[in-house]
Amino acid sequence: MQAISTNIKRVAVPAQAFFFFSALAFSQAPAPERTIDEIKTEAIHRAENGMYPLIGLDPADVGEALASVKTRDKDEWAAAFMGVADRYMNEAISSACAFSRSAAADRAHSIRRQGDHRISAAIQEC
């Protein structure tokens, strides 16, 4: 009789602990999903305060990108931020071409001063 009682205790205590922690885990309700407007507000707040994952982004650029986001679709979000990124890319290309034209003009002037009037097509690109 004593052996049966010991075996029951050996099984009962872990079983009680399992049921207690299982009930505790399942009793917690999942957090409600945030609305798109709440997500946008949080994203702009994070950009303004330099918080992850928007560290270093201009809050105005984030706001511009988020203005066109209407759903949680990742492709829509990517397209919105790529629109802002494309603007920066076009500015960089324009700046590089302006620098290149300036450098080409300087080089052409230098070549002319040396008496060599052959200017390569590479200088005249952009």
For the chain, the maximum distance between any two Cα atoms, rounded to a whole number of angstroms, is: 116
- Number of independent structural domains in the chain: 2
Domain that holds residue 37: 32-67
Is residue 119 assigned to a domain?
yes
Rounded distance between C-alpha atoms, residue 103 and residue 105, angstroms: 5
Per the CB < 8 A criterion, the answer to whether 63 and 48 are in contact is no
Residue 104 lies in a domain: yes
- Of the listed ranges 27-31, 54-58, 82-86, 112-116, the least confidently predicted one is 112-116
Indicate whether this model's pTM tops 0.75: no
Do 81 and 126 sit in the same domain of this protein? Answer: yes
| Cβ neighbourhood burial of 63 (10 Å; 0-12, 13-18, 19+) | middle
Q: What does the alpha-carbon distance between residue 61 and residue 63 come to, in Å, rounded to a whole number?
A: 5
Over residues 8-56, the pLDDT tens digits come to: 556 555 656 565 555 555 656 677 889 999 999 999 999 999 999 999 9
Look at residue 98 and tell me if it is in a domain. yes
Q: Would residue 102 count as lying in a domain?
A: yes
115: which DSSP letter?
A: T
Rounded mean pLDDT of 69-75? 95
Domain assignment present for 21: no
Answer whether residue 8 is part of any domain: no
User: How far is residue 114's CA from residue 108's CA, in Å, rounded to a whole number?
Assistant: 10
Residue with tokens 């080089």: 107
What's the one-letter identity of residue 83? G
Cβ 108 vs Cβ 121: under 8 Å:
no
For residues 91 and 118, membership in a common domain is answered with: yes
Distance CA 95, CA 81 (A): 21
Indicate whether 24 belongs to any domain: no
Query: In this structure, are 90 and 58 located in the same domain?
Result: no
